[in-house]
Amino acid sequence: MKIINFIYKIYVILYMDNNFYNKIETLIKTLDFEKINLKLIKSNAKKLLAIWTQIKKLWNQINPNQIEYKIYIRDSNEYNQIIELLKKNFLSSNSNIMNIINKSNYIHLLNYSNIYFFWLSNLGEKNSTESDYLVSLNMFKITLCLNQYKFNNTDEVSRYVIWIPINKKRNFNYDKISKTNLKKTEENFEAFVASGVTYGIEPRITIVTRYEEVEKLLIHELIHNYNMDGSGFHENLGDILNQYKNIKNNKKEKNFNYHYEYSIYESYTELLSTYFYLLFASIQTNKKLNINILISNIIIELVYSYNIIANLINLNGYLSYDEFKSKKIFMGNICKYEYYYIKALMYNNFDLKFGNELDDFNIIYGDIIKMIKKNETDDDVLMELVYQNYIKHNNFKYQIH
């Protein structure tokens, strides 16, 4: 009970003025906490605390005087080079993104060693108190820290991160997910629309959009960029890829979750990005992180993620939790199965592992597949309990913090 009482205290401190968070707190109070795998969560939290110590040290070692700052004006060679990169990837097919690209007269740059962080702006001068600059500086420091954590000064690849600031939330203001409603949210750049991409070899390019959740989104894409998810071993993971594709669909009814070549990485990447965001959030606010705070935050994320699934069950037209269990299919051309469902299960059912070599990722993704298979016969009861008491909402961001 000590940890549960601590969760309530965390809520009072962080969220007392926010109605939605208070509702989530009410939801937590209705749950049977014996269904939470506290032993697993504590074990994972201990691993994360060790990482927090490492990246906090790296964060404090960053010398702002060594960061180069430049501004490129429209139609300069440097400006045009970045704009061309933005126009040549699939994100630019969204009119909201293209509108920002076309209207931005300046591109700002923060650079240290092989890391280049660009953001689009209509401000033609440096302003160290301007919000986009402060957000960009934090994002750049996260980019540097994760690079140091992963490569320890051995990285020789040029890394480009480009931010397209768009003030749109991940809202879905409809009673049902349909092709028509998904098209409307895409046109408005709201829920279930791709917000980031990573591609290329030299330079290795990451593009992120939005204001909402942008630091967490950045971490997600950096995990791809730095091969922390094993996607760099893609050609050697054929057996695992085939196993995964076979278990994520309901072949009896010929129903299939959205799939693309790299789908398998998204749930693991989503989990890591949430965990790392919690670590960086503590560092940025200069708050001490201990095991109880971290466990509390993970449990909050777990319940929030299960609550998201409950909302998606209803938006996908399932009439009961049992019907959802028998199918587990999510509509739309984005990896909802990975981003939301499998990621949610992993909080309560996945022993956290990290990888550097091919064998590591065979084990990691093998464990995820085992978790999914186990859940087919031994359902996560906690998810059903949340479904029975869920809080309806319309914002489908990927984490609550």
When pLDDT is averaged across residues 331-354 and rounded to a whole number, the result is 96
Task: Say whether pLDDT at 151 is over 80.
Answer: yes
Sign of CA dihedral 131, 134, 139, 142: negative
- Least Cα distance to 177 among 390, 305, 400, 333 occurs for 333
pLDDT in tens, 299-330: 999 999 999 999 999 999 999 999 999 999 99
Q: What does the pLDDT read at residue 21?
A: 75
Q: Hey, what are 105's tokens?
A: 């007269």
pLDDT at 220 over 60: yes
| pLDDT score at 83 | 97
Residue 205's H or E segment, with its range, is strand 204-209
Q: With 50 as the cut, is the pLDDT of residue 2 above it?
A: yes
DSSP 89-132: SGGGGSHHHHHHHHH--EEEEEEETTEEEEEEES--S--TTSHH
CB atoms within 10 A of CB 1: 6
Residue 16 is predicted with a pLDDT of 47
C-alpha separations of 45 from 80, 135, 237, 244, 351 in Å: 45, 27, 28, 27, 10
3-state secondary structure of 199: strand
| Token pair 């959740």: residue | 213
Averaged pLDDT for residues 38-45: 96
Largest separation between any pair of C-alpha atoms in the chain: 62
Whole-number Å distance between alpha carbons of 324 and 174: 20
pLDDT of residue 25: 78
Confidence of residue 128 (pLDDT cuts 50, 70, 90): confident
Q: pLDDT-based confidence at 173, cuts 50/70/90?
A: very high
**DSSP of 251-275, one letter per residue?**
GGGTB-----TTTTHHHHHHHHHHH
Average pLDDT, stretch 194-222? 97
Q: Residue 247: which pLDDT band, with cuts at 50, 70 and 90? A: confident
Residue keyed to tokens 């965390």: 10
* % the chain with pLDDT above 70: 94
60 contacts: CB under 8 Å, gap ≥ 6 = none
Mean pLDDT of 249-276: 88
Mean pLDDT, the chain, whole residue set:
92
Does pLDDT of 11 surpass 60? no
Are 122 and 105 within 8 A, CB to CB? Answer: yes
- Judge whether residue 52 has pLDDT over 90: yes
Look at residue 379 in the predicted model and tell me its pLDDT. Answer: 85
Domain positions in the chain: 1-61+266-401, 63-226
Q: Check residue 19 and give its pLDDT.
A: 72
CA atoms within 13 A on the CB side of 244: 26
Q: Dig out the tokens for 324 from the structure.
A: 């959802």
Tell me the mean pLDDT in the region 221-235: 97
The answer to whether 351 and 274 are in contact (CB under 8 A) is: no
CA pair distance 125, 328, nearest whole angstrom? 51
Q: What is the pLDDT of residues 352-401, one digit of tens each?
A: 999 999 999 999 999 999 999 999 888 899 999 999 999 999 999 999 98
pLDDT at 6 over 70: no
Would the pLDDT of 105 be above 50?
yes
**Tokens representing 76?**
């300069």
Identify which has the larger pLDDT, 123 or 26.
123
Confidence of residue 110 (pLDDT cuts 50, 70, 90): very high
